Amino acid sequence: MQLQAYAACGDPDVRVAVREEFLRLVRFVQSASGAPDEAVRPWLAEGMLMNVAAAMDLSQVDEDWARMCTGQFLIEHLDKVHGTSKRGGDRGM
């Protein structure tokens, strides 16, 4: 739904409504997290990447570029850093 709203922003009335709702989202994240703007922006950017990756079902693409755009990249990176093998099921995230 979110991606559809952004795609419909060519309509000025829709654009105004989507901007207002995005502002609500930004303010909520700022308020709920207490994080500075420098932290909120990358968090929002990561969320948008997750939306795009989900829309393309990148979790089903077994290639480095697709894993980089999904949570699988982080899981694999943490496994390497911590010297753990790939674990199945719940990864504690």
pLDDT at 82 > cutoff 90 = no
Into how many domains does the chain fold? 2
Tens digits of residue pLDDT in 54-68 = 889 988 898 888 888
Of 49, 77, 46, nearest in space to 64 by CA: 77
Query: Is 69 in the same domain as 45?
Result: no
Query: Is 17 in the same domain as 49?
Result: yes
Query: Is 69 in the same domain as 89?
Result: yes
* Percent of the chain predicted with pLDDT > 70: 81
Model pLDDT, residue 69: 85
Model pLDDT, residue 34: 96
For residue 26, the enclosing domain spans 2-55
CA–CA dist 49, 54 (Å, integer)? 8
Query: Is 74 in the same domain as 38?
Result: no
Tens digits of residue pLDDT in 28-51 = 999 999 999 999 999 999 888 988
